[in-house]
Amino acid sequence: MSFISLLWVLLLGSLLGLELIGKVPPTLHTPLMSGANAISGITMLAALTLIVKAEGNVSLLIIGSVSLGFALFNVVGGFFVTDRMLAMFSRKQSNKK
């Protein structure tokens, strides 16, 4: 992957992000923030790459593993917390029906 095409990826990704959440009801600001936060834990892929490519370098394995732990803490915790918040909204709606 050349640097230029990676820059294009960065640019288009940013534009996509700007477009995606144009209009959000205030109710969903906290869950959206929390959900987006969970997605930022995608850096776990970088941690995985680091571990796979460590080739027996123990220090690198440990750094990668700790990094993976932090990232998954963010991802798993983030998605669960978001789900907990959203569950409260949907329960209310199904009660109404």
Partner 1 sequence: MNLPVIIKFVIDLLAVLLLALGIKGLSKVKSARDANRLAAFAMSLSVVGLLSYYLGTSGIAIQSWIWIIIGSIIGSLLGAILAKKVPMTSMPETVALFNGCGGMSSLLVALGVAIFPISGGQENFDFFKSLINEVSISVSIFVGAITFTGSIVAMAKLQGWLSTPGWTQSKVRHFVNIVFAVASLIAFFDLIKGNTSSIWLLVIVSSLLGIGVTLPIGGADMPVVISLLNSYSGIAAAAAGFVVDSQLLIVAGAMVGAAGLILTQVMCKGMNRSLVSVLFGGSLSAQSTASSGSGEYTNITSCSVEECALTLEAANKVIIVPGYGLAVAQAQHTLREVTKKLEQNGIEVVYAIHPVAGRMPGHMNVLLAEADVPYEQLKEMDVVNPDFPATDVVLVLGANDVVNPQAKNDSSSPLYGMPVLDVQEARTVFVIKRGMSAGYSGIKNDLFDLPNTSMVFGDAKKVLNDLIGELKDLGVGDK
- Positions in 2-31 near partner 1 (CB under 8 A): 3, 6, 9-18, 20-31
> Per-residue x/- mask for partner 1, residues 28 to 67, rule CB under 8 A?
xxxxxxxxxxxxxxxxxxxxxxxxxxxxxx-xxxxxxxxx
Closest distance of CB 80 from partner 1, Å:
3
Q: What residues between 70 and 89 interact with partner 1 by CB under 8 A?
A: 70-89
At residue 21, φ and ψ (nearest 5 deg) are -115, 50
**Spatial separation of the C-alpha atoms in residues 51 and 58, rounded to whole Å:** 9
- Residues 79, 81, 86, 89: what is their CA dihedral angle, to the nearest 10 degrees? 170
What is the size of the binding site for partner 1 (CB under 8 A)?
A: 87
**97 is a site residue for partner 1 (CB under 8 A):** no
Closest distance of CB 47 from partner 1, Å:
6
Strand ranges, E, within the chain: none
DSSP, res 27: G
